[in-house]
Structure formats: C-alpha cells, structure tokens
Amino acid sequence: MTTPTRGRLILMPNSLDFGTPGTPPDLQDVLPLGVIRRAASLTHWVAENAKTTRAFLKRVGAVQPLATPLQVLSIVELPRPQKGSPGAAASMPEPLAALLAPALEGHDIGLISEAGLPAVADPGAALVNCAHAMSVEVVALPGPSSLLLALAASGLNGQSFAFVGYLPVGQAERGARIRELEALSRRAAQTQLMIETPYRNAVLLAALLAHLQAATKLSVSCGLTLAEGFTRSDTVAGWKARPVALPADVPVVFSLLAG
C-alpha cells in the first residue's frame, strides 16, 4: 500500500483590478509567467469568489492554455469569514478541513482571492492555518500586493510599518482611531497603512486631513498597477494647500507617518 504524494496549498496572487473601471492591465504586466503557468495547471481551487476566479482563469488561459477545461475544474468558495478573532480557526472547523481533502489525495489546491495575495487583508488565513495543522505544505507565489507597492511608493518608513485594515465608520470613533494611529506612529516611528471601501475614499481622506497634525506625512496610492494609478505623498499641510479628489471606484491605500 503506497501513500500518494500529498498535494500542496498554493497561494495564488490575483491582479489588482477587481471592480475597477477601464481596461484591466495585461496579466503579464502583474504576474510572473511561471505563476500564470502554475495557475493553468491546477485542477482544484478554493476561492473567495468563484465567478471572479473563472474570470481570472480566462485571462490565464489566454496566456497559457488551461490543463483542464474551465467547466471541469473544481472551484469551491471559502465559507464567509466569521466575525471575531482570526485565531478562531485554530480549532479547525470541519468545513475548512473538507476543503483540503483533495490535497490528501495528491492534488495541489489553489487558494485565490478577488485581488492581490490571498490571506493578506483578505479571507483565507483560516484555511492556511488549517493546512499547517493538517501538515499540508503551503506555498505562496509572488504577485502584486497593493499594501507593499503603496508602502514602497510612499517614501515613508519601510523599515517599520503596520497594516491596520479598515477604520471605524462612525465619525467620532474614526477620528479617535486616526489620532490613536498617529500617536502609535510617532511613538514607534512606524508607518501605519489602512484601506477603505472605494466609495468612502474621499470621506476617509477628509477625516485624515481633519484629525492629523500638519507635519504628519500622508501618502495616498490610488489604483496601483492601473494605467491611471498614482501615489501622492505630502505633509498634511501640503495636502490641505493642494487638495486632490479621489475616485470612488478604485482601491486606495492610505499611509501615514507622524512628523
């Protein structure tokens, strides 16, 4: 009796153009050919969203024909993330373990989110955690990350930085959180990165300018990897003197460093 070689959990990067208007960039501008080929070879997927995964695989197939027709591929959606502690998955709930069953039969499984790297500012960490607990090897493939592209382009401190996700929506809580992040940034000389749902981009920018001190540096990276993408870095005083309108349909990463 031989045990089949175990499959691995392959963390597949996606492009960053999900939900954005206009022509998406060429897949070969944002993903390595080796990664595109790996995507074309996989037969089993776990996805944040099956529909966008099929759209991704169509783009992949235009570069490298899929080994298995799209209609025959297994694409299973991740269960909706539970609210609460991301460590909650340590108990390895049954549904997640079941998603990894093909790996025990020797199939590599691709994990993919709607944009960027899975399990970073995105669902998927619980499944990765589960893979480790089941001794399924985890391999992350290189691709675009809006957070690190924004950080690099910001000119702020790249030796110490934190990503804090979304800010509270309520006006008072948001203001308090912004002042807390500025204090944290000052104490540790640490760049603080955050994101927002695109239709609230302008609201968050206004809140940051209202609550941050004049000398604090604020960087805004808008539509990274898109043709019209840009990064602007300035002090809060500079932003107020030269305001910029942000689009409501393109992802933005905001970074601040207390002056």
Q: Which residues bind a copy of itself (CB under 8 A)?
A: 11, 25-26, 28-35, 85-87, 117-122, 124-132, 137-145, 147-165, 189-190, 217, 224-225, 230-234, 257, 259
Contacts of 154 (CB under 8 A, 6+ apart): 191, 217, 219, 221, 231, 233, 255
Q: Under a CB-based contact definition with an 8 Å cutoff, are residues 146 and 224 in contact?
A: yes
Q: Give one word for 121, left, alpha or beta, with left for phi > 0 and alpha for psi -120 to 50.
A: left
Minimum CB distance to a copy of itself smaller for 121 or for 212? 121
d(CA 203, CA 128): 34
Least Å from the CB of residue 133 to a copy of itself: 9
3-state secondary structure of 100: coil
Minimum CB distance to a copy of itself smaller for 1 or for 82? 82
Minimum CB distance to a copy of itself smaller for 2 or for 84? 84
Least Å from the CB of residue 101 to a copy of itself: 18
Least Å from the CB of residue 226 to a copy of itself: 11
Least Å from the CB of residue 248 to a copy of itself: 23
List of E strands, 67-134 = 74-77, 109-112
Q: Which element (helix H / strand E) includes 173?
A: helix 171-188
Minimum CB distance to a copy of itself smaller for 1 or for 123? 123
Least Å from the CB of residue 69 to a copy of itself: 25
